[in-house]
Structure 1
Amino acid sequence: MGNVCGVQLTWRNGLDSSEAAEVMALLDKTEQADGVAPVGEHVILRLKAHRDVIHQIEPVQADVRSEHFVVRDAGSVLIGYAHLDTEHEKTAGQLVAELAVHPDHRRKGVGARLVEALLDRAELSLEPAPDLGRLRIWSHGEHPGAVRLAERFGFSRPRELWRMGRDLATPELPEPELAEGVRIRTFRAGQDEPSVVEVNHRAFSWHPEQGGMTEQDLRAKEHEEWFDPAGFFLAVDGADRLLGFHWTKVHPDGMGEVYVVGVDPAAQGGGLGRSLTVAGLRHLRDTGSRQVMLYVEGDNAPAIKVYQRLGFEKWDTDVQFGR
């Protein structure tokens, strides 16, 4: 793809290990500058799937769900990147993108060049137009630069994801309250994956990302450094059938996260989600986390109310811009 003022944008359907490492370094640099990661976890996981060439049959490893837009300056230095998720293109006709521009190369047209390439890939005009649900671009932390680009190219705001948080010391956390015959135990790797995926699918059948988790996805996350089965809580009945779960996460800086809370629809309405959430919060507090965060859909008023009652407040917003 084209060269504008010495800036070269190219498209990739796969990255070799060297280029994947360059992209990871760019994402790290962007996160350091902005205080928020420019891409979601699933993008990082896909980039990490690129192993050294000696472990691959081919020197370039392609992910059929991913396309990559790479921007380099005249000296061939990576200054911009966009990841395009094509997983739902055939079924729902939707493409989802996330992008990053090197902090030293902003306000020079790199972000606009990436957006233009994404619009071209989605077969959309550069002029403002009604939202067709064809292209979604995330802005994590609602970055001012992303807002300007969205206004310039006429994107709407079909989705917001709130990040909420609270201190774990105060207010005091309540005790979990469980119905008779229900108990909470921790995750057993190698045994619980099928039931967790099954309940997750039912609990999040409406969710565009979480609902599609597979056993392979779950097992891949079990190999991440942060994974800890002791922080993965399962509510089961007397026959050990899974009713719901709370998967916690601890970030490298010690920040705790309510990573996923899922309750089987057949078990909803009795406060199980709240009790699972409390069990995970107490675990995070007792294992050293001082603060905890979570993500929740901005239009999910019932969930937001539950979290507010547990002491959470809104911290910031991720916005999905749409065309």
Structure 2
Amino acid sequence: MITYTWRTTLADNEVKDVESLLEEAVEYDAEAGFSTATPTTAGRGEVRHLLVSIAPPGERGSVALDRLPDVPVVAYLRLDVRGEVADVQLVVRPEFRSHGIATLLAELLDEQPTGWSSVEGVRRLRAWAHGAHPAAERMARRFGARVDHALFKTLRFIGGSRPFAGDDVGAAVEPAPDGPAEMVEGHLAGIAPGEREVLARGRTRLATPAGSVLVGVDEKDPARQPACIALDPAGVPAGDVRALLTTALLRVQADGARVAQMYVDALSEAFVGASRGLGFQHDQSDVLYLRPL
């Protein structure tokens, strides 16, 4: 029913086909914040592209599939290979989801000599599922992947009729033109464009002797768009995490924000505890899966 083709580089028409798929998926997944892919971005290692095609309507073995459009690419997989580890990004065109395309592709890649075994040296696959996609959870169970890490996207409503109050510890204000650093390797590569826009607002650093936090609000509409708070708890004493976050909330509230968004490292007890204590609410989980081959 489906076939796949590996590419080390994409031809211009293939880039166009993949970008069309991704644009459709981004629009469809905007509210859920599911993962996307980055076909034209440089990788950390050797990048390979997998283009997945399906038989023409009338030859797909399913009435439901035969009703779907005749398109050149129904799924796209990006593989970033570094030694024994490869980072995977996979996006299925929205119309073709819930028809077993991803599951069948995974089976073929396991079974066929042109699948994973054709990628020399790879022993483990890493894949982020942004928004804890239910299909990703099912695929992980079926193919023996385990959760290796997770980040919580959290929200804190502030200002207006529910102002946040706390003690400002005082901080030096510095520009942070590079924006937030990646908290866990690979997390930002496939993040949804809407989430990337929020993170891009974090261009101001509030620095204290204990550590620093990046903050920023939307310049045009700070009350309607989420503000960014970005803290990497590494190296910050556990007792100082809450104070840093309090200062960050007071700053974005003063700048007009009515909601702040922050990613929390699920493995950091101090970070999770401080964020909950300050009223940050869980919105979604981004999960990193690791699968041995």
Q: TM-score scaled by structure 2?
A: 0.69
Using the alignment, how far apart are the partners of 2:211 and 2:254 within structure 1? 25
CA offset at residue 133 of structure 1? 7.5
Specify which of 205, 208, 219 is matched with residue 185 of structure 2. 208
- Tell me which amino acid in the other structure corresponds to 1:235: A
The question of 1:134 aligning with 2:124 is answered yes
CA offset at residue 24 of structure 1? 3.8
Specify which of 186, 193, 201 is matched with residue 174 of structure 2. 186
CA offsets per residue over residues 294-315 of structure 1, 9 Å max, x none?
2223222211001112211222
In 2 relative to 1, CA 103–288 (structure 1 residues): closer, same or farther, beyond 3 Å?
Answer: farther
Q: Is contact 1:66-1:83 (8 Å) kept?
A: yes
RMSD over aligned CA atoms reads: 4.0
In structure 1, stretches of 5+ residues that fail to align are: 50-60, 125-131, 211-223
The question of 1:256 aligning with 2:211 is answered no
Using the alignment, how far apart are the partners of 1:113 and 1:268 within structure 2? 47
Partner of 1:176: 168
Using the alignment, how far apart are the partners of 1:18 and 1:280 within structure 2? 46
SS in 2 for 1:284: helix
CA offsets per residue over residues 59-92 of structure 1, 9 Å max, x none?
xx88854322222334443221122232xx22xx
Partner of 1:281: 249
The question of 1:244 aligning with 2:212 is answered yes
Using the alignment, how far apart are the partners of 1:150 and 1:78 within structure 2? 24
In 2 relative to 1, CA 107–262 (structure 1 residues): closer, same or farther, beyond 3 Å?
Answer: closer
Percent of pairs with identical residues:
22
Using the alignment, how far apart are the partners of 1:114 and 1:153 within structure 2? 12
CA offset at residue 29 of structure 1? 2.7
In 2 relative to 1, CA 293–110 (structure 1 residues): closer, same or farther, beyond 3 Å?
Answer: same
Using the alignment, how far apart are the partners of 1:256 and 1:276 within structure 2? 16
Q: Is contact 2:35-2:131 (8 Å) kept?
A: no
User: Any residues of structure 2 matched to 1:1-323 within 5 Å, and which?
Assistant: 5=1, 7-16=2-11, 18-34=13-29, 35-39=31-35, 43-44=37-38, 47=40, 49=41, 64-73=45-54, 74=56, 75-86=70-81, 89-90=82-83, 93-116=84-107, 119=110, 122-123=116-117, 134-169=124-159, 170=162, 172-178=164-170, 183-187=171-175, 189=177, 207-209=184-186, 227=200, 231-235=203-207, 243-248=211-216, 250=218, 254-258=225-229, 260-262=230-232, 265=235, 268=237, 271=240, 273-323=241-291
CA offset at residue 255 of structure 1? 2.2
CA offset at residue 25 of structure 1? 3.8
- Tell me which amino acid in the other structure corresponds to 2:173: R
SS in 2 for 1:78: coil
In 2 relative to 1, CA 29–282 (structure 1 residues): closer, same or farther, beyond 3 Å?
Answer: farther
Using the alignment, how far apart are the partners of 1:308 and 1:225 within structure 2? 21
Q: How many residues align?
A: 258
In structure 2, stretches of 5+ residues that fail to align are: 57-69, 188-196
Q: Is contact 1:67-1:84 (8 Å) kept?
A: yes
Q: TM-score scaled by structure 1?
A: 0.63
CA offset at residue 105 of structure 1? 0.5
In 2 relative to 1, CA 250–72 (structure 1 residues): closer, same or farther, beyond 3 Å?
Answer: farther
In 2 relative to 1, CA 284–244 (structure 1 residues): closer, same or farther, beyond 3 Å?
Answer: closer
SS in 1 for 2:76: strand
In 2 relative to 1, CA 302–62 (structure 1 residues): closer, same or farther, beyond 3 Å?
Answer: closer
